[in-house]
Amino acid sequence: MVHKLKIAAAGLGRMGKRHAVNFLHRTPRAELVAAFTPDEGEMAWAKANLEPYGVKLYSDYEEMLNYPGLQAVVIATVTKVHADETLSAIAKDLHVLCEKPISLSIEKSLEVVNAARAKPHLKVMCGFSRRFDSSYRDAHEKMEAGVIGRPAIFRSQTCDKHDPSGFFVQYAALNGGCFVDMSVHDIDLALWFFGEDSIIKSVAASGVAVVQPALREHNDYDNAVGIVEFWGGKIAYFYNSRMMAHGQEDTTEIIGTSGKLVVNGNPQANFVNIYSSAGITREVPPHYYGRFEYAFVTEANEFTAAALDGTKLPLRIGGALRAVEIGSYLQEALTTGKKLYFDETGQPIEKSKL
C-alpha cells in the first residue's frame, strides 16, 4: 500500500480552506489528518467538509502538532502568526508549507530561515504559487532552452479586480503595503527568471490612491509602479493595482536578446467568446484563484513528493525572504518618494555617501 504523508492544515480562511481541500482530495500521496482554526465560523465549515472524511479538528495549534504520526503542516493563518507557527512545527520535526509572507519583519523571517537551515532533512517552503503554474513553468523552460536569448527586461503586474467593499483598506494595515502584499509574487518571478542570486542596484517607485483614498491613512496606495535595477544589466519593472474593472490580470513579460515570452497577455476566464452588438467579448477570472487554482494543486502534490522522497523543491525558504526584502525596499521607495541605491553586494548605500 502507498505510504501517504500525514499532514495537518492550520487556518481555514479563504486560502486555508483551499489548501485543506487540496490536500484532502487532490493530493493522492497525502492524507489530511488534522486541521486547526481558532475561528468558529471556520470550525463549522470544517465539521461539514473535513470531519466526514476523517480529519480531526483542533482549536489549538500546538495541540494539533501532537497528532500521532503527523509529518507535515500547511499554514494559512493570519500573517502575524506565520513565523511562530512555522518555528513550532520545525521544532517538532515537521515539514512546513507556509503561505507567504513568513513575516513582515525581516529579522523574524531570518529566524525562520535559520531554523529551517538547521534541519536540512525538513522541507520548509513559503508558497509562491506562480512557481507551480504550468504556464510560468513552460515560459521558464523555454527561456532555459534559449528561446529568447539572454533575459534582460522583466515586466510583471499583479492587478486585482476592484472591490468596492473597501475590504482592502482594512487589510492594508496588516499586509505590509502593495509591493509586499501583491508585487512580491512578481518579484519572486523576477528572481526565478533572472537568477536567484541577482543583486539589486537601485529601486524607485511611485503610487496613487485613486479608488480607495483611505489607503493613504495606512501609507498605502491602490496603484503603484516600481523599477528594480539589478547589477549585471537587468531591469525588472512592476505594476500593482486594486482597481481593475474586468477582473484579475496578472501578466508577465520576459524580454531577452532574441525574443520575448509573455504569460497571460490575454486573460480569459474560459474558452467562450460572446459576439454581440457590443463587439466580441471574453470574460476574465474575477480572482487570482480563477487563474491559479491548479498551481495550488501542483504545489500541494510537489510539496508532498518532496517531503516523502526528499526531492528538491522549486524554491527554498531563503528565496522567499529575498522577494519580501526587495518588496520592502520598493515599499520604502514608494512611501518616501526616494530612489534607493545598493552596492555590488546588494547593501544599501547611504544617500549622504552618493
Q: Which of the residues 91 through 150 are near a second copy (CB under 8 A)? A: 134-135, 138-139, 142, 147-148, 150
> In this complex, which beta carbon is closest to a second copy, that of residue 35 or of residue 113?
35
Least distance CB 84 / a second copy (angstroms): 32
> In this complex, which beta carbon is closest to a second copy, that of residue 31 or of residue 99?
31
Of 61-69, 82-90, 100-108, 244-252, the window that binds a second copy (rule: CB under 8 A) is 244-252
Least distance CB 209 / a second copy (angstroms): 8
The size of the interface with a second copy (CB under 8 A), counted in residues, is 80
Please give the grid coordinates belonging to residue 14.
479563504
> What part of residues 318-337 is at the interface with a second copy (CB under 8 A)?
337
Cα 317 to Cα 217: distance, rounded to the nearest angstrom? 32
Least distance CB 233 / a second copy (angstroms): 4
Least distance CB 76 / a second copy (angstroms): 20
C-alpha closest to that of 126 among 293, 335, 323 = 323
> In this complex, which beta carbon is closest to a second copy, that of residue 14 or of residue 338?
338
Out of 44, 265, 343, 348, name the contact with a second copy by CB under 8 A.
265
> In this complex, which beta carbon is closest to a second copy, that of residue 165 or of residue 270?
270
Helix (H) / strand (E) element for 44: namely helix 40-49
Q: What torsion do the CA atoms of 312, 317, 320, 321 make, to the nearest 10 degrees?
A: -150
> In this complex, which beta carbon is closest to a second copy, that of residue 121 or of residue 352?
352
**Bridge partners, residue 32, by sequence:** 7
> What part of residues 271-310 is at the interface with a second copy (CB under 8 A)?
271-284
Residue 155 binds a second copy, judged by CB under 8 A: yes
> In this complex, which beta carbon is closest to a second copy, that of residue 258 or of residue 345?
258
Say which residues have a Cβ less than 8 Å from residue 220's Cβ, sequence separation at least 6.
172, 177, 178, 207, 209
Out of 23, 61, 237, 329, name the contact with a second copy by CB under 8 A.
237
> In this complex, which beta carbon is closest to a second copy, that of residue 61 or of residue 296?
296
207 burial level (CB within 10 Å; 0-12, 13-18, 19+): buried
**Would you tell me how many other CB atoms lie within 10 Å of the CB of residue 141?**
10
* Cβ atoms 232, 218 nearer than 8 A: no
Cα 236 to Cα 136: distance, rounded to the nearest angstrom? 16
> What part of residues 36-55 is at the interface with a second copy (CB under 8 A)?
52-54
C-beta pairs of 280-285 under 8 Å, 24+ apart in sequence: 283/247, 284/246, 284/247, 284/248, 284/249, 285/247, 285/248
According to DSSP H, which parts of 50-182 are helical? 61-65, 79-91, 106-118, 134-144, 167-175, 178-181
> What part of residues 197-226 is at the interface with a second copy (CB under 8 A)?
202, 204-211, 223, 225-226
Say which residues have a Cβ less than 8 Å from residue 297's Cβ, sequence separation at least 6.
22, 26, 27
Distances (CA, A) of 113 to 116, 318, 319: 5, 6, 10
Of 68-76, 101-109, 255-263, 324-332, the window that binds a second copy (rule: CB under 8 A) is 255-263
> In this complex, which beta carbon is closest to a second copy, that of residue 172 or of residue 263?
263
For 64-82, give one letter per residue: b (16+ CB within 10 A) or e. bbebeebbbbbbbbebebb
> In this complex, which beta carbon is closest to a second copy, that of residue 16 or of residue 247?
247
Out of 10, 76, 94, 263, name the contact with a second copy by CB under 8 A.
263
Cα 51 to Cα 112: distance, rounded to the nearest angstrom? 31
Least distance CB 183 / a second copy (angstroms): 14
> In this complex, which beta carbon is closest to a second copy, that of residue 87 or of residue 255?
255
Out of 87, 199, 227, 305, name the contact with a second copy by CB under 8 A.
227
- Count Cα atoms within 13 angstroms, Cβ side, for 42: 21
